[in-house]
Amino acid sequence: MKDVQSERDTRGVYLNRVGIEDLRIPITLKTPSSGPLNTVAEVRLAVDLPAEERGTHMSRFVEIINEIEILKPHKIEGVLEHLKERLGSKSAFLDMTFPYFIKKKAPVTGIESLIDIDCAINAELIGEDFSFFITSSVPVTTLCPCSKEISDRGAHNQKAIATITIKSSSLIWYEELVELVERNASCPVYSLLKRPDEKFVTESAYDNPKFVEDLTRDIYKELEKIEEIEEFEVYVKSFESIHNHNAFALAIKKEG
């Protein structure tokens, strides 16, 4: 049977990426303390394509993805090495997004419940150069300092999502990123709060007013201090309770 993909291409156009996306698979992740975590990832897998090859072999991406079971950073580099080899490419890319689950204790009653956090892994192997990025989108409460200052009572507050992406030279757990964001927010959010907890989070938020700009900077300051983190990006989006549109702030730290 003819292999059309393997035909020689004469158009002279190098493709930066070619591959598959929107593939969902069940995955098992290691966690720092509570055993393996089962979740579902949406996957994008790609290689680059030399100018002289007509097409890639899409089925091989799925073959390789079928081999992944327990995700660990060093295993992903192997997956990308494998991909490069099987597809005869110079670069290989893996992007995964998935909900991650963390057990949290309510602040006063201590009752435990799970909270879901959108996380991602983005890995690339360009030549022999391997880069590994992790992302966590942490929901928190922000309370507006201006609203509090100018009002005789109350202050508008809302859910905000702080999305951190880091490139690190050593393992950073999602739990660390989540805690880092939470201790800088007006208040963390929880899945389960009894009345004493609700009193606590309401007053905490009121006592810690933060603009999106404040939260972005406070997270930035903490990330900057962690030596293993070479590059990072902080993007905070506030689902404004007084507007229909939303507010955001973004700070980028580049290597070097």
Number of residues in contact with a copy of itself under rule CB under 8 A: 102
Choose which of 35, 74, 129, 153 interacts with a copy of itself (CB under 8 A).
153
Does 155 engage in binding with a copy of itself (CB under 8 A)?
Answer: yes
**At a CB cut-off of 8 Å and minimum separation 6, what does 101 contact?**
37, 39, 114, 115, 116, 117
Q: Interaction with a copy of itself in 164-223: which residues (CB under 8 A)?
A: 187, 189-196, 198-199, 201-203, 205-207, 211-214, 216-218, 220-221
Choose which of 29, 46, 96, 134 interacts with a copy of itself (CB under 8 A).
46
Please report, as a single letter, which amino acid is at residue 243. H
Does 9 engage in binding with a copy of itself (CB under 8 A)?
Answer: yes
Of 208, 103, 101, nearest to 160 by C-alpha is 208
Does 8 engage in binding with a copy of itself (CB under 8 A)?
Answer: no
Of 207, 217, 212, 220, nearest to 243 by C-alpha is 212
Does 136 engage in binding with a copy of itself (CB under 8 A)?
Answer: no
Quote the crossing angle between the two packed helices 212-225 and 174-184, to the nearest 10°.
130
State in angstroms the smallest separation of the CB of 120 from a copy of itself: 15
**At a CB cut-off of 8 Å and minimum separation 6, what does 59 contact?**
none
Q: Which is nearer to a copy of itself, 66 or 170 (CB)?
A: 66
Q: Which is nearer to a copy of itself, 2 or 74 (CB)?
A: 2
